């Protein structure tokens, strides 16, 4: 005799909305970083002259120092564009897989998603280094990361 469950687990509305938002965000992340890897050879065309032209236009010392730091960070990011894009591509793909599993009410998806999102916060810092700009980026990004992880965690008891 076969037992048929007449009342299967239903996915909560909040979980559905979170998963859809993650599908969109992580999907764009996958596509964007795939394009970053494909376009990475363009970095060879951006020499130091490209950045020095921007500095010539700024004469006030505080603004010039700020711009010099921003250019230095930009140059490091361009040097490591392929590595940064590859790392983010893999982590966004993992995040997407985690969301798909959570959409199917599987707890493993929560852990995959959480690890991927936390690691995504630190990818730029790993390749560029910690500095004011990177720290501010981590701070702002962590707000959404913590929010989504907390909202997913609320639905954890509904998952297998």
Interior angle at CA 149, CA 111 and CA 34, nearest 5: 75
Q: What is the pLDDT of residues 83-114, one digit of tens each?
A: 999 999 999 999 999 999 999 999 999 999 99
Mean pLDDT check: name the lowest of 45-54, 55-64, 119-128: 45-54
Domain for residue 107, yes or no? yes
Domain for residue 37, yes or no? yes
Name which of 84, 96, 62 is nearest 129 in CA terms: 84
Structure tokens at 98: 């985690």
Q: What is the pLDDT of residues 20-59, one digit of tens each?
A: 999 999 999 999 999 999 988 887 666 666 667 767 777 7
Domain for residue 73, yes or no? no
Name which of 112, 103, 115 is nearest 159 in CA terms: 103
State yes or no: pLDDT of 5 exceeds 60: no
Number of domains in the chain: 1
Domain for residue 59, yes or no? no
Domain for residue 153, yes or no? yes
Domain for residue 35, yes or no? yes
Name which of 138, 133, 98, 129 is nearest 116 in CA terms: 98
Domain for residue 19, yes or no? yes
Angle between helix 13-39 and helix 81-103 axes, rounded to 10 deg: 160
pLDDT-derived band at 2 (thresholds 50, 70, 90) equals low
pLDDT-derived band at 3 (thresholds 50, 70, 90) equals low
Domain for residue 123, yes or no? yes
Cα dihedral sign, 31-32-35-36:
negative
Name which of 127, 99, 74, 115 is nearest 23 in CA terms: 99
- Tallying the residues shown for the chain, one arrives at 160
CA distances 32 to 1, 138, 142, Å, are 51, 19, 20
Interior angle at CA 95, CA 70 and CA 30, nearest 5: 60
Give the structural domain span for 104. 13-42+82-158
């Amino acid at each position: 005799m076969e037992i048929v469950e007449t009342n299967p687990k239903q996915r909560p509305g909040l979980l559905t909305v979170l998963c859809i938002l993650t599908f969109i965000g992580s999907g764009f992340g996958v596509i964007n970083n795939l394009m970053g890897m494909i376009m990475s050879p363009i970095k060879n065309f951006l020499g130091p002259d490209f950045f020095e032209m921007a500095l010539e236009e700024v004469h006030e010392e505080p603004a010039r120092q700020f711009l010099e730091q921003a250019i230095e960070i930009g140059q490091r990011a361009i040097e490591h564009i392929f590595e940064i894009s590859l790392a983010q591509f893999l982590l966004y793909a993992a995040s997407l897989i985690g969301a798909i599993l959570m959409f199917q009410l599987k707890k493993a998806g929560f852990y995959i998603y959480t690890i991927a999102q936390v690691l995504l916060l630190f990818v730029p810092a790993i390749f560029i280094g910690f500095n004011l700009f990177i720290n501010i980026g981590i701070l702002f990004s962590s707000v959404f990361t913590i929010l989504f992880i907390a909202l997913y965690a609320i639905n954890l008891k509904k998952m297998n």
